[in-house]
Structure 1
């Protein structure tokens, strides 16, 4: 899906204003029925990994297939939280944000842009990515991360030697480059899942 195909706005019923890419804390409503919280078993709680996620409609929907959710969550946590080596957390979140922006996933972009801003202290640069897209001006290191993430998002085979060389020239080592690819690849899948199961809603007033 190319960026030119993304309008960046979602119309909502009941005369609500359209949503645009934002760092605000959005809601999300599923189009399918989540598993009711009072029907969760120990198997489901084990699959959620974090028991607090039982309050979340998205995870209670995914927990209908507990084995896949457990694998998905542990993969997610390893990519984004296991930062003792490799890419700093801010730039893992940047890869997820760039991917979500290119895919048109307003909800995922809102979540990961907040993390990218928090860890990088570069909220203006993050907001420019949301407002103007993956081609918006950025510093050389962020430019290389965003370009690689967007290439992998649009068509995986588009990610080529020039992207890897740009990442190396920006100072990333092989493990950090691997983290960029893992973050973008995971959110290519996660965006498509979320986009197919529900839609974002405006922040609670």
Structure 2
């Protein structure tokens, strides 16, 4: 099994010099208070905050999609983000969301199946979410009524489906930001 302990976080290295906290403008410092985790101002945040207005708009939207109470359960949002990140080739985001999913569910089975390329081992709900995340990430315009029916068949309601679409879609954007602005490695 791949455990969240063995799925070590990756390091992300920006191609554009991040804003140094000691040199940040008052607007940049204020913007950095709106971090996704509200815990850490990463190099990624400090890179995005070169444009504090767009950083705040992006982060408020990201937080509303990924961390809001109600609607789709957090592990399902993380699974959608993981599926999108795998398709988009963003290893940093894939590892991050795999770890979060395993932490939230206190179970590594889903992550293990995906990392071993055995999606057939997923339960019906996880399989439907993962299939939809992949389909929506590969060619969004090919998502069809059958895809929504598949999600409904595993008990998802309209609010949960919309939340899932948001989670998958924002990673179409987030993954591309990560790729263009920097690269990830294991730090070894």
1:137 paired to 2:109: no
Unaligned runs of 5+ in 2: 1-5
Matches within 5 A, 1:39-188: 39-48=23-32, 49-50=34-35, 52-54=39-41, 56-83=42-69, 85-132=70-117, 135-188=119-172
Residue deviations 1:103-149, cap 9 Å, x none? 1100001111111111122312112213317x453111011111111
Distance (whole Å) between structure 2 residues aligned to residue 86 and residue 93 of structure 1? 13
1:200 paired to 2:184: yes
Contact 2:71 2:163 (C-alpha < 8 Å) held by counterparts: yes
Match of residue 7 from structure 1: none
Secondary structure of the residue that 1:75 maps to in structure 2? Answer: helix
Unaligned runs of 5+ in 1: 1-21
Q: Under a length normalisation based on structure 1, what TM-score does the superposition of the two structures give? A: 0.82
Q: Under a length normalisation based on structure 2, what TM-score does the superposition of the two structures give? A: 0.89
Contact 2:21 2:29 (C-alpha < 8 Å) held by counterparts: no
Distance (whole Å) between structure 2 residues aligned to residue 188 and residue 90 of structure 1? 18
Distance (whole Å) between structure 2 residues aligned to residue 169 and residue 52 of structure 1? 38
Distance (whole Å) between structure 1 residues aligned to residue 50 and residue 59 of structure 2? 14
Contact 1:25 1:203 (C-alpha < 8 Å) held by counterparts: no
Contact 2:75 2:101 (C-alpha < 8 Å) held by counterparts: yes
Displaced runs of 4 or more, over 3 A: 50-54
Contact 1:129 1:136 (C-alpha < 8 Å) held by counterparts: no
Residue 203 (structure 1) shift: 4.7
Distance (whole Å) between structure 1 residues aligned to residue 111 and residue 117 of structure 2? 10
Distance 1:52 1:91, change over 3 A: closer
Distance (whole Å) between structure 1 residues aligned to residue 83 and residue 48 of structure 2? 24
Give the CA RMSD over aligned residues. 1.7
